[in-house]
Structure 1
Amino acid sequence: MLHLTECPRDAMQGWPTFIPTTQKTAYLNALLRVGFDTLDFGSFVSPKAIPQLADTAQVLAGLDLKQSATRLLAIVANLRGAETAARYPQIRYIGFPLSVSETFQQRNTNKSIREALDDVARMQELCARTGQQQVVYLSMGFGNPYGDPWSPEILGEFTQKLDALAVGIVALSDTIGASVPATIAPPFRELTVAFPHIEFGAHLHTTPGTWREKVQAAYEAGCRRFDGALGGYGGCPMATDELTGNMPTERLIEFATEAGEDLQLNMGALAEAQVLNQGIFAAEPLPLAPSPKERGN
């Protein structure tokens, strides 16, 4: 079964003008009605680093969770952020970006990989006490622009360390849109066999013309957890000056439908969410089916 995580947090975090709290809340409530498996809704990080999401606690207070089975995920950058997220039992998942690139780990969290792994261990202990679950994102999971070492074997070494800490969900994260099928398929193919008890996800960034080959490579290699953002907006402002957009959720839905995956989504609610998405990002929402030209026919 394919699990979709909708990531409005990733879409909003680098947006240049502040999105009002009421507008964020209305949008997230619309997304909760769609029926996604998980909603990556906000983050508990320094407002100096990500001012757009400084109102995450206020947004959370306005979410209507009673009629939704969607689980909430919040991103943190350190143990302090995880402790804040742990105060809210509504949050099921606490996500932490652990980079396989030493350079990016420093840029993103001002810590070394060794220090970040120490944080992962303490956050795992925290989640065990609160009944929440940690999701570790292996950022720069398909290569990096800094010349730091990368290989499927390195991803395996990181996963071995996470497995020893009993981390149950690991998402390989593109971060900058560097992934291609040749770097996507081998890690998933190897990791899903070596660690069958871990749920592996794909957080891919893409350009409009390369989305299908990326999703197909991950899916055929065994990945069944995918992150996306309506309209393909977003990117990591800590990685490069120019952002490469998220995997469009519309395209993930299209691919899943073609693959025979029953996502059980409320398509009417999705259309309503697209309208709100347009109001926030001032662009036309993507159609749910591509044109023949987009298919390459």
Structure 2
Amino acid sequence: MKLIECPRDAMQGIPNFIDTAIKAAYINQLAHVGFDTIDFGSFVSPKAIPQMRDTAEVLELLDLHDTESKLLAIVANVRGAEDALQFEEIDYLGFPLSISETFQKRNTNASITEALKTVEEIQNRCEVKGKALVTYLSMGFGNPYGDPYSPELVAEFVEKLDELGIKIISLSDTIGSASPALITELFEVQIPSFPHIEFGAHLHSRKEDVSAKVKAGVEAGCTRFDGALNGFGGCPMAKDDLVGNMATEQMIETLEGLGYDLGLNKAELQEAMKLTSFVFDQ
């Protein structure tokens, strides 16, 4: 079972700039907890996401010597990928590919067809550099724009990504609309159909729904979950402040209740929880 902690997603929508040193201190603390991967920053336009304009500077302040946690950075185009690939410390690049044409244009200023070409180019560059590309299928559980959506459409996107050699695909519920039944349905279909692909769940949720969504994913065979401590973050499109990222501490409680040993340092986790109020109360 892999937990991916996402301070980048938690921070990116905060309007007041969080000091670079504070970001780095928080990520360093997270690195001591024992998460499989930390989604720590993004190499995107500072005009689009001002909060992430210091990702390279944050990286310079990270102390990664005593941690096995890997680092993931989000990119939105080939230029961002090239910037991220310069850093040996980064293990994964993440790219948001949307099933919704409207959201793809809003998120990366490109059509789905153009975005798929970008995925192919980034995948090729990652292979040369020995990195892995995580492709997020955003709006993977539906969209609010009236764009076409169905589980069959999700399968078509997965097949296209498989043809490009993508090995990690994270189904993303950008607006917190996924029901446990739909979560189970998607993973029960995709995981057996593409056993060579690692499927993850990047879900947004109200806190009271986190446990049911995690259980739905686990029952369908998902072993990779993204979250953020205290459920910070979320998509501005949701227009609901209560729909943030999946609260990591709740996911931990649920997964341990199901019998999983996550290998986390609980003392370091408590220290990270204490830091959240300082980091996010800006």
1:119 paired with 2:118, answer yes
- Hey, which bits of structure 1, 4+ residues long, moved more than 6 A? none
Equivalent residue letter for 1:220: E
C-alpha displacement at 1:182, in angstroms?
2.3
**Equivalent residue runs for 1:123-202 within 5 Å:** 123-202=122-201
What's the counterpart of residue 16 of structure 2?
17
Q: Counterparts of 1:76 and 1:282 in 2: how far apart (Å)? A: 26
Q: Secondary structure at the match of 1:9?
A: helix
Q: Counterparts of 2:240 and 2:61 in 1: how far apart (Å)? A: 32
What's the counterpart of residue 103 of structure 2?
104
Equivalent residue letter for 1:109: T
Segments of 5+ residues of structure 2 without an aligned counterpart are none
Q: Secondary structure at the match of 1:210?
A: helix
What's the counterpart of residue 60 of structure 1?
59
Give the count of matched residue pairs: 281
C-alpha displacement at 1:140, in angstroms?
0.3
| 8 Å Cα contact 2:184/2:216 also seen in 1 | yes
Question: Residue by residue, what CA displacement relative to the aligned partner does 1:53-77 show, whole Å, maximum 9, x if unpaired?
Answer: 1000000000001111000000011
Moved more, 273-282 or 130-139: 273-282
What's the counterpart of residue 290 of structure 1?
none
Q: Counterparts of 2:36 and 2:224 in 1: how far apart (Å)? A: 9
Q: Counterparts of 2:238 and 2:74 in 1: how far apart (Å)? A: 19
Q: Counterparts of 1:131 and 1:242 in 2: how far apart (Å)? A: 39
C-alpha displacement at 1:240, in angstroms?
4.3
Coordinate RMSD, CA, aligned: 1.1
TM-score, normalised with respect to structure 2: 0.98
Q: Secondary structure at the match of 2:245?
A: coil
Equivalent residue letter for 1:37: D
C-alpha displacement at 1:236, in angstroms?
2.5
**Equivalent residue runs for 1:75-86 within 5 Å:** 75-86=74-85
1:255 paired with 2:254, answer yes
What's the counterpart of residue 271 of structure 1?
270
Q: Counterparts of 1:242 and 1:77 in 2: how far apart (Å)? A: 25
TM-score, normalised with respect to structure 1: 0.93
Q: Secondary structure at the match of 1:147?
A: coil
C-alpha displacement at 1:210, in angstroms?
1.2
**Equivalent residue runs for 1:283-294 within 5 Å:** none
Equivalent residue letter for 1:14: G
Q: Counterparts of 2:259 and 2:276 in 1: how far apart (Å)? A: 27
